[in-house]
Amino acid sequence: MKTSALTIGIILLARLVKVDGRRGTTEISETLELYKTDAKYTALLKEINSTYHGRPHNTANNLEFEKYFQTVLSGLNLTVYDIADKIDIYTDFTVYNQIRLELEREISKTIQVAKNLLSLKNLLPHCRTFFMDQQVQMAASISQSNLMKMEILNNPSPECENVELNQITFLETTTTTTTPKPINYDSIFRDILQKYSKRPWGNLKYLEFDEQIWQVFMALNTDDKIYKKETLIGFMGYDKDREKLDKALAVRIGKFKKIIANETDSNCKGNLLYLNKRLSLAMFETLEKKRKILVITNYIHSCVKHEEHLKIVDKINKT
């Protein structure tokens, strides 16, 4: 286009020069023609100036745009004899600006697509990263040269762009299960207190368990979330162990009752009864004592060596 504009200019100038030699009517009409052309391009350049004077539509801070705009201003300073340059300036600016506008339309389309895809909860993580980076790059490229814009637009991700949606997302069901509900500690604490409000062991003292229940009660009356969480974890761990040991104690007591029922030796029966009483009392003792009595009574199936076991049991109970 530069060449064609230049050619027009040269032809016009050539005619002017030729006309200079032999003055006549053609000279006047061609000179008029020149002035008309100049007026037309001056008007076009002025229009560009008034449209972009305030740097609207993404044209601010664009060095390349600035360069072309300044040539438009300098074009407005040219005389009628520089009509060829004027046409060049107009053509260059218009071509540059049309390409710029086209690229910017393409950029804003790409940004919109990325925005829509980023709103999907189940977008694959590496595609999420790609589209987030792309948005930033696209937004920054607005003030860059047309060449840079083209380069950024032609930097696709074969994995994340121009592929079916199901190739860049994972199944929705997996996302719904990954969002855990916040734990309502107070409601759990109230359930625990409710569950143990009527102690199955009546009037018997159960110091270690009472201590644990007291911790729960205290945690219910605090605002400290971390303290609530730690107390809950502590209590759940303790109560799980306690339940297991109490179950084992109950099973052991049942076994002993059967042995006792079959025992004919009264002395031996007395010892077995004593051990069984120990097992029952262990229900309200510490986890440590529950474990010890279970270990000691593990191998007792008859009266053999009961005396020795009784000594050990007593020793444990005294510590």
Ligand X SMILES: *[C@@H]1O[C@H](CO)[C@@H](O)[C@H](O)[C@H]1NC(C)=O
Min CB(182)–ligand X separation in Å: 52
Question: Judged by CB under 6 A, does residue 51 bind ligand X?
Answer: no
Member of 152, 220, 259, 268 binding ligand X (CB under 6 A): 259
How many alpha carbons fall within 13 Å on the CB side of residue 114? 22
- Crossing angle for the helix pair 63-76 and 83-118, to the nearest 10 degrees: 150
Segment near ligand X (CB under 6 A), from 11-19, 28-36, 256-264, 290-298? 256-264
Q: How far is residue 53 from each of residues 38, 46, 57, 73, measured CA to CA in Å?
A: 22, 10, 11, 10
Question: Judged by CB under 6 A, does residue 303 bind ligand X?
Answer: no
User: Residues, the chain, total?
Assistant: 319
Q: Is the CB of residue 301 less than 8 Å from the CB of residue 285?
A: no
Question: Between 180 and 209, how does the x/- string for binding to ligand X read (CB under 6 A)?
Answer: ------------------------------
For the CA atoms of the chain, what is the radius of gyration?
Answer: 47
CA neighbor of 40 nearest in space, from 10, 82, 4, 83: 83
Question: Judged by CB under 6 A, does residue 262 bind ligand X?
Answer: yes
Segment near ligand X (CB under 6 A), from 46-54, 81-89, 120-128, 246-254? 46-54
Min CB(137)–ligand X separation in Å: 33
- Which pair of tokens denotes residue 210? 């009472």
Question: Judged by CB under 6 A, does residue 46 bind ligand X?
Answer: yes
Question: Judged by CB under 6 A, does residue 176 bind ligand X?
Answer: no
Member of 3, 50, 162, 319 binding ligand X (CB under 6 A): 50
Report the residue number, 50 or 266, with the smaller CB distance to ligand X. 50
Segment near ligand X (CB under 6 A), from 7-15, 203-211, 257-265, 308-316? 257-265
How far, in Å, CA of 39 to CA of 24, rounded? 23
Min CB(145)–ligand X separation in Å: 22
Q: Is the CB of residue 122 less than 8 Å from the CB of residue 36?
A: no
Report the residue number, 15 or 40, with the smaller CB distance to ligand X. 40
* Structure-derived torsion over alpha carbons of residues 173, 178, 182, 187, reported in degrees to the nearest 10: 70
Question: Judged by CB under 6 A, does residue 77 bind ligand X?
Answer: yes
Q: Which residues of 23-53 are buried (b: 16+ CB within 10 A; e: fewer)?
A: eeeebeeeeeebeebbeebbebbeebeeebe
Question: Judged by CB under 6 A, does residue 74 bind ligand X?
Answer: yes
Member of 53, 225, 244, 305 binding ligand X (CB under 6 A): 53
Report the residue number, 88 or 285, with the smaller CB distance to ligand X. 88
Segment near ligand X (CB under 6 A), from 23-31, 73-81, 144-152, 273-281? 73-81
Phi, psi of 123 (to 5 degrees): -70, 135
Which residues contact ligand X (rule: CB under 6 A)? 46, 49-50, 53, 73-74, 76-77, 258-259, 262
